[in-house]
Amino acid sequence: MSVSVRAVLIGLALLFAGAAGAEEYKLNITKGGAAKMRIEVRDFRYIETLEAPLDGGEECEEVLARDLTFSDFFNVRRETNYLPGIEDSTRAPRDVFALVHGEVRREWGKVVLKGEVVEAASGKTIFRKSYPIGSPPDRWAVHSYADDIVYYLTGEPGVAQSRIVFIGTQDGKKDLWSVDYDGARLGQVTRLANIAISPAFAPSGDAIAFTSFMNGRPDLVSVRLADGKITPISNRPGINSAPCYSPRGDRIAASLSFEGNAEIYLLDPSGAQATRLTFLPSIETAPTFSPKGDRIAFTSDRTGEPQVYIMDADGANARRLSFNGKWCDSADWSPKGDWIVYVALIDDVFDLCMIRPDGSALQRITGGAGSWENPRWAPDGRHIVAAKREGGVRKLYVMAADGGGKRALTAFRGDQYNPAWSPPLRGTDAR
Amino acid sequence: MTAIPAAIRPLAILAMCVLITAAGCAKKPKVDVTPTNTPTNTDTGNNGGTDNGTPEPTHQDPPKAAENIQDVFFDYDRFSLSDEAREVLNANGKILLETARLRYVLEGHCDERGTVEYNLALGEKRANAAKDYLVRYGVESSQLSTVSFGEERPFDPGHDEAAWESNRRVHFARQ
C-alpha cells in the first residue's frame, strides 16, 4: 500500500518537475545530453617576433578559444601559466582531453600557423596542420584551425568560417551588410541605397539572392560576393520575393504574384522558368527547403491567419505544421532536417519556436521582452541567428538552437534584420 | 466577413475598442490630409524617397483635383475595404474619372508587425483591393498601377498604435 502511494507521489513529483522544466524553454536540441569535451587552448609560440594581434586587436588564442567554445562541443580552458610549446603537455588537469597548440613562424618565405592538437593523457599528437596566416595575421586562418579541430574531434562541421548577411538600415537606406559569425569584419555588400530585403545564400556561398526595389518595384536579383555584380532573376509584375535556394542550388523557391496572387513558385537559378506550386487565393510566402530538397515549409494565411505549412517540393500534400499562435511565420528548415524554427505570435509578441517536421516536440526558445523575427539556421544545425525588435529597433542575436547563450552579433548602428547565415566558406576566395 | 474566426476575435474586439475610444482619430486622416496633402509630404520627408531611383511623384503644381486624392487605410493584417475606405475610394474614383489623363501608382503599405515577407504580400493585396474597387467603379485599369512596399517605407516612423494605423494604407502616388 505505502509502496504504491509512494509511486504515485513520485509520479506526481516527476510530472511537476517536467512542467517546471518546460517553463524554462530549454531543450537538448544541441547537446543530445552528452557532456562537453574538456580541452585546453595554450598560448601560441611566436618565432622570429611574429607576434602581432589579429585585425580587431585580438590575440589568435582568444579567437580560437571563442570559436571552440561557440561550437558548443567543448568546455574550453585558456591556459597561459606555462611555457609555450607542445613539450609541456604533462601539466593539464586529468579531466582535460586535448591540448590545443599553435606556432606562428616563417616557412618557405611565408608566415604560417602550425596547429597541433595533443591528447593530454598520452601526449600523442592527434591532429597537425599548417595554415597560411600572413603578417599581420589573418583571422580566417585561426577560424580554419578551429573548424578543423571541431571536425576532427566530433565529426561535425564547425561554423567559424562563416559569415552572416543581413539588411542594415542607414540614413533610411536598406542595403545588404555582412559580418563574420563572431561579429568581426563588418562590411557593406550592396550600395544600392534603396530598399533591399530577404537575402538568401546560394549553397555555393558565392552569391546571395534578395528582393531589391532598385527599379522601383520588388524584383528578385542576386549579388555576386566576389565583385558585387547584380544579376536580375525575376522582374515579373507584382512581387518577386522571399527567395530560398534548393540545397543543390538548382532551383529557387520564391513568392511571386505575376499571375494575380502571391504564390510559391520554383524558379531555375536564372529565373527564366517559373513552376507554380500553390493555387489558393490566400497569401503564400516565405518558403524554405528541407535539406534533401524534397519538401518545402512555407507561410500561408489560407485559414484567415498566417500559419506554417509543409508540402512536397512539387506542391502536393500540403498540411499545416504550426498551431501555437495567431500568427506563425518565417520558417527555416534546419540543415540536418530534424527541426524547423519559426516565429509565433504569443501574448502580442513574436517568439522563436522549434518543431519537428512531423509536428511533434514543439518548444518555445525565447521569452520575455522583445519580438523576434526571421530566425535562420547556422550551417552546423546547432545555432540560430534572428532579429529581435525592442524599443523600435531591431538587432541581430546569435544563439544555440535551444535559445541559450544569446549574444548581440555586431555593433552595427541602425536597424538590422533579415539575417542569412552563410554556408561554410572554406578557402580564401569565399570571404 | 460577418463570422469572425475565434482565433482573431480578440483582435477584432481590440480593433473595435480602438475605433470606439479613438472615434475622432478614425476620421483624422480625412480631415488632415485633404487641405495639406500630408501623405505625400510625409513620404518625401521621412524616407528621402526622391533619391532612391524609384519613380517618385512630382509634387510641383499638381492639378487641383489631384490634391483631393486621398489615401485609404486598413485594419491590422487585413486588406478588406472598410465602409470608410469605400467612401474615400468613391471620392477618388470620381476625381479619377474627371482627370483620366492622370496616372497613379497605388502603393500598398503595412505596419511593422509581422514579417517582412508576409507584409510585402499583404501590401500588394491592399493595393490590388483598392485598384479592383476603382476599376469596378469605372476607372480605366490603365490609369492605375500597383506596387507593394510592405513594411519597408512607413509614413510614421513611430512604434505605437497611432503609427501603425497610419502606416496601414494604400497611398496614391502621381506617376
**Would you state the pLDDT for residue B8?**
54
Residues of chain A with pLDDT under 70: 1-34, 49-51, 81-91, 427-431
A417 touches chain B (CB under 8 A): yes
Q: Taking a contact as any Cβ pair under 8 Å apart, which residues of chain B between 6 and 45 contact chain A?
A: 7-8, 11
Inter-residue contact A65 to A145 (CB < 8 Å): no
Is B19 within the bounds of a domain?
A: no
Is B3 within the bounds of a domain?
A: no
**Would you state the pLDDT for residue A5?**
44
Q: Taking a contact as any Cβ pair under 8 Å apart, which residues of chain B between 136 and 175 contact chain A?
A: 146-150, 152-153, 158-159
Q: pLDDT for B128-153, tens place per residue?
A: 999 999 999 999 999 999 999 999 99
DSSP calls for A282-349: S-EEEEEE-TTSSEEEEEE-TTSS-EEEEEETTS-S-EE---SSS-EEEEEE-TTSS-EEEEEEETTE
- Which residues are A263's β-sheet partners? A256
Q: What is the rounded average pLDDT of the residues B69-75? A: 96
Alpha carbon separation from A276 to A240, A264, A314, B42, B102 (Å, rounded): 13, 6, 9, 39, 35
Nearest-Cα distance to chain B for A71, in Å, is 29
SS3 A46: strand
In this complex, the residue of A215, A238, A373 whose CB is nearest that of residue B115 is A373
- Which residues are A341's β-sheet partners? A332, A354
For A374, nearest residue in chain B (alpha carbons): B115
pTM of the model: 0.83
- What CATH number belongs to A163-421? 2.120.10.30
Residue B55 predicted with pLDDT over 50: no
- Residue range(s) in chain A whose domain bears CATH number 2.120.10.30: 163-421
- Three cell numbers at B96? 479619377
Check: CATH 3.40.50.10070 for A37-154? yes
Q: Which domain covers residue B102, as residue numbers?
A: 28-174
Inter-residue contact A354 to A384 (CB < 8 Å): no
The reply to whether residue B159 touches residue A392, judged by beta carbons under 8 angstroms, is yes
Would you say the ipTM is above 0.85?
Answer: yes
**Would you state the pLDDT for residue A12?**
42
In this complex, the residue of A198, A238, A417 whose CB is nearest that of residue B124 is A238
Nearest-Cα distance to chain A for B110, in Å, is 14
Q: Taking a contact as any Cβ pair under 8 Å apart, which residues of chain B between 62 and 101 contact chain A?
A: 77
| Contacts of residue B20, Cβ cutoff 8 Å, sequence gap at least 6 | none
Number of domains present in the structure of chain B: 1
Which CATH number belongs to the domain containing residue B151 in this structure?
Answer: 3.30.1330.60
The reply to whether residue A241 touches residue B121, judged by beta carbons under 8 angstroms, is yes
Is B66 within the bounds of a domain?
A: yes
Is B13 within the bounds of a domain?
A: no
**Which residue out of B11, B79, B116 would a mutagenesis test of the A interface target, given it has the greatest number of A Cβ atoms within 10 Å?**
B116
The reply to whether residue A285 touches residue B53, judged by beta carbons under 8 angstroms, is no
A178 touches chain B (CB under 8 A): no
- Which residues are A169's β-sheet partners? A174
Q: How far apart are CA A159 and CA A20, in angstroms?
A: 33
Strand B104-109 relative to strand B144-150: parallel, antiparallel, unpaired?
parallel
pLDDT category of residue B51 using cuts at 50, 70 and 90? very low
Q: Which of A67-81, B45-59, B92-106 is the most confident on average?
A: B92-106
B115 touches chain A (CB under 8 A): yes
Q: pLDDT for A305-343, tens place per residue?
A: 999 999 999 999 999 999 999 999 999 999 999 999 999
**Would you state the pLDDT for residue A34?**
65
How many CB atoms are closer than 10 A to CB A163? 24
A288 touches chain B (CB under 8 A): no
Nearest-Cα distance to chain B for A172, in Å, is 6
- Three cell numbers at A174? 536598406
Q: What is the DSSP letter of B61?
A: S
Is B16 within the bounds of a domain?
A: no
**Would you state the pLDDT for residue A148?**
97
- Residue range(s) in chain A whose domain bears CATH number 3.40.50.10070: 37-154
In this complex, the residue of B51, B118, B149 whose CB is nearest that of residue A329 is B118
In this complex, the residue of B118, B148, B152 whose CB is nearest that of residue A299 is B118
Is B5 within the bounds of a domain?
A: no
For B107, nearest residue in chain A (alpha carbons): A217
**Would you state the pLDDT for residue A290?**
98
pLDDT category of residue B6 using cuts at 50, 70 and 90? low
**Would you state the pLDDT for residue B58?**
45
**Would you state the pLDDT for residue A50?**
63
In this complex, the residue of B5, B7, B120 whose CB is nearest that of residue A241 is B120
